[in-house]
Amino acid sequence: MAAASVGAPLLGLGGAEATLSRLRPPPPGGHESIPLRRSAAAVAASIPRRRESLRSAERASVASSRKTPTRAMLGFPSLCPTSLPSRQSRGRNNVRRRAPVAAALLELKPPPYPLDALEPHLSREAVEHHWGRHQRSHVDCLNAAIAGTQLEGMELEDMVVAAYNKGDPHPPFVHAAQIWNHDFFWQSMKPGGGGEPSGRLMELIERDFGSYERMIKELKHAALTQFGSGWAWLAYKANRLEVGNAVNPCPSEKDNKLVVAKTPNAVNPLLWDYSPLLAIDVWEHAYYLDYENRRADYVSTFLDKLVSWEVVSSRLENAINRATERAKVDEKRRQDDDVEATSRKPVEMYLDSDNDDSETE
């Protein structure tokens, strides 16, 4: 086989020509350059590797050109001061320090029972779809939205109220509220639930609604008349009329009593300073796989076969204790204000009549 001539061009490197007459750069010692001896087969074999290298460089260039969303792009600049250094970069001399990122992330909490434990009333497929897909997406979106903001590190309940921003919600609100609502919803059910409540819960139901049947009727009505997506709630109202964060849905109701309410989308009674006791999710994805568009059947099954009145009773006790402690704090504050007002000495004022006469003259 005849050897290739030294000056013969070889094609194939992306349209560029390579010749065997190309020389290595002179060695440091200044010795004579040595011709680069590469066969045509070696050059041809290197072509696939060269092409892959070019593709990798192109992918890296495209990736680096993609902009990372800034805090201002998240839509709530008042909670995302871009002039401050990030949490990881703060420190003496602005030295970048590694922060425990995992500790700041919210996690997807599983329901307090196996995913198939509510069958046949709620199938495993429906629970997996509802919890594993919809709620997980809220957790992922919330972690991305609050990173580096004042919301990061807050308790979820406090985050819901803060992000609601007195009726002008910041973007993280819907994710924070939906995570809280769903955790509350899963805990409101149990395998073999239903029946009737007992103890103080039943006493307050009969006192505030007239009967258990009347309360169930009002709760079903709220769930079925909530237009579109939302929630139906049984809650304990123990606040005064001025909530300071949202329009009170029961302004004429007496405090310290049970109330039924319905809310659109992600809104919940925390925003009115109520204590939620029971939640029924009436978003369509909560029941469509098992009940299609038969919301009434789903709500009836929830109350007859799934609700955990033991959990509702425990929540009621916590709500009453919380209201009692707050009432004590309020009363102590009023007493302190009264003491301060009575202890103030009256201010005596004198009129300089001479100056007044001179000015008059």
Please determine, for residue 287, whether its predicted confidence score (pLDDT) is greater than 80: yes
Q: How confident is the model at residue 215 (pLDDT cuts 50, 70, 90)?
A: very high
The answer to whether the CB of 275 falls within 8 A of the CB of 259 is: no
Average pLDDT of the chain, as a whole number? 76
- Judge whether 279 lies within some domain: yes
Q: Are strands 230-237 and 9-13 parallel, antiparallel or unpaired?
A: unpaired
Please determine, for residue 253, whether its predicted confidence score (pLDDT) is greater than 70: no
The answer to whether the CB of 71 falls within 8 A of the CB of 149 is: yes
> Mind listing the pLDDT tens digit for each residue in 113-169?
999 999 999 999 999 999 999 999 999 999 999 999 999 999 999 999 999 998 899
- Judge whether 273 lies within some domain: yes
Q: What range defines the domain where residue 252 resides?
A: 124-316
- Judge whether 32 lies within some domain: no
- 251 compared with 299, residue with greater pLDDT: 299
pTM: 0.65
- Judge whether 4 lies within some domain: no
Give the count of domains, the chain.
1
Please determine, for residue 352, whether its predicted confidence score (pLDDT) is greater than 50: yes
Mean pLDDT over 215-219 rounds to 98
> Mind listing the pLDDT tens digit for each residue in 291-348?
999 999 999 999 999 999 999 999 999 999 999 898 888 888 888 777 777 777 666 6
Q: What is the C-alpha to C-alpha distance for residues 48 and 271, in angstroms, rounded to an integer?
A: 62
- 37 compared with 42, residue with greater pLDDT: 42
- Residue 279: φ, ψ to 5°: -130, 135
Mean pLDDT over 237-261 rounds to 68
The answer to whether the CB of 18 falls within 8 A of the CB of 43 is: yes
- Judge whether 342 lies within some domain: no
**How far apart, in Å, do the first and last CA atoms of the chain sit?**
133
- Judge whether 136 lies within some domain: yes
- Residue 179: φ, ψ to 5°: -65, -50
Distant-in-sequence, close-in-space partners of 146: CB < 8 Å, separation ≥ 6:
152, 159, 172
Q: What is the C-alpha to C-alpha distance for residues 124 and 136, in angstroms, rounded to an integer?
A: 16
> The domain that contains 285 carries what CATH number?
3.55.40.20
Tell me how crowded residue 80 is: count the other CB atoms within 10 A of its CB: 21
Angle between helix axes 309-343 and 199-209 (nearest 10 degrees) is 70
Q: What is the C-alpha to C-alpha distance for residues 306 and 299, in angstroms, rounded to an integer?
A: 10
- Judge whether 23 lies within some domain: no
Q: What is the C-alpha to C-alpha distance for residues 219 and 213, in angstroms, rounded to an integer?
A: 10
Secondary structure (3-state) at 343: helix
> Mind listing the pLDDT tens digit for each residue in 67-90?
433 334 334 433 333 333 344 434
The answer to whether the CB of 279 falls within 8 A of the CB of 233 is: yes
- Judge whether 252 lies within some domain: yes
